[in-house]
Chains A and B, each alone.
Chain A
Amino acid sequence: MTFDFAIVLRFKEALLLGLWTTLQLTVICVVLGSLLGFLVGMARSANSPFVRVPARAYVEVFRGTPVIVQLFWFFFCLPLVIGTEIPNIVAGIIALTLYMGAITSETFRASLKSISREQYDACTALGLPHATQVVHVVLPQALLRAAPTLLSNCVSLFKESALLSAVGMADLMFIGQNISNNTARPVEVLTVVALIYFAIAFPLTRVVTRFESRVLAKLSA
């Protein structure tokens, strides 16, 4: 069997369009999911069990089940439960946002917890009001510390977003599959699709590693 990678070039536009859809969906779910994750991460350390327990349950359920099951649940089951159709884009965004929310909440929770008692003591000794303490001392450090992990959460989401093809979203994976079926050239097409995902994810993971050591050095003082 001979491989003809040139054939993939004929579908350049379609693949780029798919990539564009993947990136858009990733960005939307990253933004919504991180906001959700931040709130849930804070809720995890709330004093009231009425806040803490549901937050924990949510995180455990979404971290403890396969993303594709979550996606199918929102696509196939939620419409039956609420009795209305849900467009696949809506089901997809809900599922990936909730997934992103669950994993980033752990990131935020860990970074909030990593701020030492000494930092809080210093704030009290300086008489900083609670709001100042949160806005000027706790949050900047927590966000800085969370940033590298958050970035790798984003890379995970970018890769997981390929699952959206299973509910018919025309993302990079979906278009790749279609081209591969229509041309009967799965090796060439899917290899190129994999390389495109890799070309974006790999540099980002390198950035995470570099960034992480710099952040840790800075915050270690």
Chain B
Amino acid sequence: MLRRTFLVGGLTVSGGFLLGLPVRSALAGNDTASKGGEIGFFVEVKPDNTVIIGVAQPEIGQGVRTSMPMLVAEELDVEWSNVTVRQMPLGIVKTADGYTWKYGSQGAGGSTAVTDNWDFLREVGATARQMLVAVAASRWEVEPGACHTEPGEVVCNRLGTRVRYSDLAQDAAKLPVPSEKPPFKAAADYHIIGKPAGVVDIRDIVTGKARFGIDTEVPGMHYAVIQRSPYLDGAVKSFDDSEARKVPGVVDVFKIDGPGPGEPYLILASGVAVVATSTWAALQGRKVLEIDWDKGPHQNESTESFWRQAKELLSGQGQVVRDDGDLDAALAQASKVVTARYEIPFVNHAPMEPQNCFVHVEEGKATVIAPTQSPSGANRAVASVTGLPRENIEVQMTRVGGGFGRRLTNDYVAEAAMISQKIGAPVKLQWSREDDVRHDFYRPSGLHELKAGLDDAGKVTAWTQRLASAGKYYRRPNVAQEDQYKPELYIDDFPAQVIGNLRTEWFEVQSGMPRGSWRAPAHTANAFVVQSFLDEIAHASGQDPLQLRLDLYGQSRDLPYGQHGGPTYNPWRLSRLLKHVADRVDYTAERPQGRAVGIASHFTFGGYAAHAVEVEVSGVGELNIKKIVAAVDCGIAVNPLGVEAQLEGGTIDGLSTALNLEITVENGRVVQSNFHNYRIARMSQIPAALETHILPYGDKPTGMGEMGLPSIAPALTNAIYNACGVRIRKLPLRDQLKKALA
């Protein structure tokens, strides 16, 4: 196993034993294909026998600072209560052939951390344990095989003796890394993996000590805000800062140039920056700026014009991205054809912590302290702004007040770099909530048309999905036009490969709205339309929605899956979850008028989830969600408490979005601005009866950040239909029921 050569031993200043990872390219030719080998780590055994474990990924609430060290600690064999966690900075290193990453890939996105690091981080722990055992064995003059470990100690039963890791660490650090791969523990022997572990930083969080990006404070730091163009791709024509400069504390005001229309985004918009000695002064200065805007090329764009365009497109022929069997013939032969259109709105990420970033650009170097999901992207953004060599840009990661995909894009980091460079001083850029709602890389909006052909027995023999959307890969010079559909339609998703005659078609809607990755990207849209449409098929053909799904998902087997989450998926695992949630919600029970359940399930990035929702809809369209049952199959759950949290959080996110959330455009401007008109669900909208269930499968974990979200919306709207006969084909729900039943 070549990746073993990535491990190096060493001593720390404090006399601890450090197991680290050297620079990849220093080991050119070794195991570059190993995904697991791309993560950095370190293990430090302290003299008091406690252990520090490094985490390379940023904590955005997905629990990596807990789950990743658990993998190391398990195989290292220490008590979890003796572990503390250290956040690694970005490990960028320049080599002869470009840049390399000392700690491997450090991004947080796509629910990949646990999957990618399962083998690797366990191996890190096991290797450290193996080296500690080797030292003990040689001291005792026995074979390593005569020793075993108990948490924090090496034990030799034959000699009846034991020694603490801390007493071995100094010598272990001098050993070469063993060339033989250490054996992993049997799952039955786990005392950390699979056991519920609380959030490692929880005491700091509940006492207000946890530091987020916004809490960064550096001596001499300035505070800045930017008034960005409210018009999509607008620009500053001219501005008058005379009043702004009179505000006490305001020290500078200047223009920030944004990308031209259609150009790639380094930052989102043109604007005027106000720099001050406090956040409040900067905000006050911004309030009195007079800016004359060039309204740009999209000043006539509106939500209405978007849908009009999408509808026109669907009347034509799009880009066929999957075409199995003979769809047209199958539809012609079908004894029943069902068709429906669904509308998915733009939505805002709205992480709880508004965007912010500290940057200090100095002669020849820069320091960045950022709440980001992509520290290497932050580094690249600052390099683009300043022209500094990337290895001279240090990126430190803070705890992040929510990501949801928004902080995969580092536009706010680039802005902070522009300001620091201009004023020649350290600066913390602060976005307001209004800035965040109006300037985002929104989840793409799209119009989906689905059509299915059924035979006499009600079997689905033909299926087509046609989507007109504003895709998120636009304005990227490195993505070919024919690949633009890829993040909008995952062409191996169910029911591809299950229904033989199937065609998928994509149409590009032109829009000035910036678009990006929003938690579980296209799965949120596609789960809604596919799982709604399955119910529509069932009702149109007199079948039971659960049984229809069980029939389609079929027997346990692996189907090829070429997108993220592959290489295979097994739709039967969705059936298992569906039966479980159906059972827990008492699917077959007789219910009074106006009360009903709905179900849905979806495969997302390697994980499987299902939801059952019980609702009551009154005669005038008041919705009361009685109960939600959510179940997930994420392989094995490394931290069940964390998995449940993600399932609860994903469910609530999906519910909040389906019930309330939409970003609309008028005259080329985003209409919503803050939580009063972008209404994230509060506790009163979330039923107290929300159950989560974990159904383990196999012997490997998958990620959990996104899986819990996609199937809740269609489970809800399927329940609504069953309760009152109103089919929701447009999100969000808002007051549609009241209107329909009035």
On whether the two chains bind one another, the answer is: no
Where the two chains meet, the residues of B that have a C-beta atom closer than 8 Å to any C-beta of A are none
Where the two chains meet, the residues of A that have a C-beta atom closer than 8 Å to any C-beta of B are none
